[in-house]
Chains A and B, each alone.
Chain A
Amino acid sequence: MAVLEILAIPDERLKQESRPVTVFDDELRAFIADLEETRQAGPAAVGIAAPQVDRLQRIVIVDCSTLRKPVPNHGHLILVNPEITEWDGYEMGREGCLSVPDYTGNVIRATRITLRAQDPHGNPLELAMEGFEARAVQHEIDHLDGLLFIDRVVSRRTDLFRRKVYQKGGAPS
């Protein structure tokens, strides 16, 4: 087990597209253990993607089960070759990133998604998720396509003013 170095902008490697995983072996699983250790070693990140530690493969980890303010979640998720198959709704939320120190910004993401992926042994997974967890998965999958949240930030003065349409208080945003 090892804590890996996290790449930070303006490192060009963060803009590369990652390749699908084709070999599901012990080496892959050892890497995933290191990736998880790296996620836990830093500031409170709910997710991490393999290219953030300079491994250009389609692997992400998301865990929204330990937030101070609980949200609907599927626990600790290891998603290999994840692919979003359905999107529904959109909302704005604030994001930061281990690879983008000292900056946070507002990003619009789908509210609900359905995705297909594989587990570390190559078994198929299919998941439907919403809200914060869905946002986290979209943020991490972006890394696999060489995108960072700063590529999607909207003006800090942009507000999806949805009062009286959704629940009052605008809790999800």
Chain B
Amino acid sequence: MTDWYMLTLIGEDRAGIVAAVTRALYARAMNLGETSMMRLGGNFTIMMMVSGAPSAAAVADAVRPVAEPLGLRAHVDAIGGGLHRHVVPNVRVRVSGADRAGIVAQVTGALAQAGFNILDLASDVAGTERQPVYIMHIEGYSDVPLEQLQAAVAPLAGEGVDVQVSAIDTLYG
């Protein structure tokens, strides 16, 4: 077991949430590792790696006084893993198409079967209420050639989903 906990907070978005929560953790001598905040459907969501706490309950206790007045729900898990475990993505996948059920499952299913590991995924519904469009951006890692991944998603074009697979060539200098 590591010293890390994953703190997840969800609630209605408003200014100052991150400042209030991180101040509460800092006041209890807890440290942050990697974090990711996103607004999803107008909701505030954040996941934070927290260390320096004696227990998961201690993390929950630390954020409760600020989370409750802000209407945030908090969840804490003891986790494995740690810092400095980044995997550099080498493939980018862009997806767009008229919104309908099953797009994410179809695209990621085809990619998983071809040996592609998703490292980062964000999707959105754009367009209008009458004509919603699903747009998804995935970065990941794959040992198989790009052409093989392209072939794996090619059949989706016939179903009205535009999937582009391209290389991410990272420059080191």
Residues of A within 8 A of B122 (CB): 157
Query: How many interface residues does B have (CB within 8 Å)?
Result: 22
Stretch from B8-16, B51-59, B72-80, B163-171 contacting the other chain: B163-171
In the bound complex, residues from chain B placing their C-beta under 8 Å from that of A97 are: 172-173
CB-defined contacts of B94 to chain A, threshold 8 Å: 159, 161, 163, 170
From B84, B96, B162, A102 is in contact (CB under 8 Å) with B84
A104 near B173 (CB under 8 angstroms)? Answer: no
- B166 touching A159, Cβ below 8 Å: no
Please determine whether B170 and A96 come into contact, CB atoms closer than 8 angstroms.
yes
Within 8 A of A (CB), among B15-30: none
Q: How many residues of A contact B (CB 8 A)?
A: 35
* With known contacts A103-B86, A104-B86, A157-B122, A170–B92 Cβ distance under 8 A: yes
In the complex, which residue of chain B has the Cβ closest to the Cβ of A99? B173
Which residues B132-162 have CB closer than 8 A to chain A?
137, 139, 162
Most A CB contacts (10 A, CB to CB) among B94, B137, B166, B171 go to B171
Please report the C-alpha to C-alpha distance between residue A156 and residue B169 in the assembled complex, in whole angstroms. Answer: 15
B112 at the interface (CB under 8 A from A): no
Check if B86 sits within 8 Å of A170, measured CB to CB: no
Taking the closest CB of chain B, its distance from the CB of A6, in whole angstroms, is 12
Nearest-CB distance from B140 to chain A (Å)? 13
Could you show 12 A-B contacts with beta carbons less than 8 Å apart? A43-B172, A45-B173, A47-B173, A49-B173, A69-B167, A94-B88, A95-B170, A102-B86, A156-B139, A163-B164, A169-B166, A170-B94
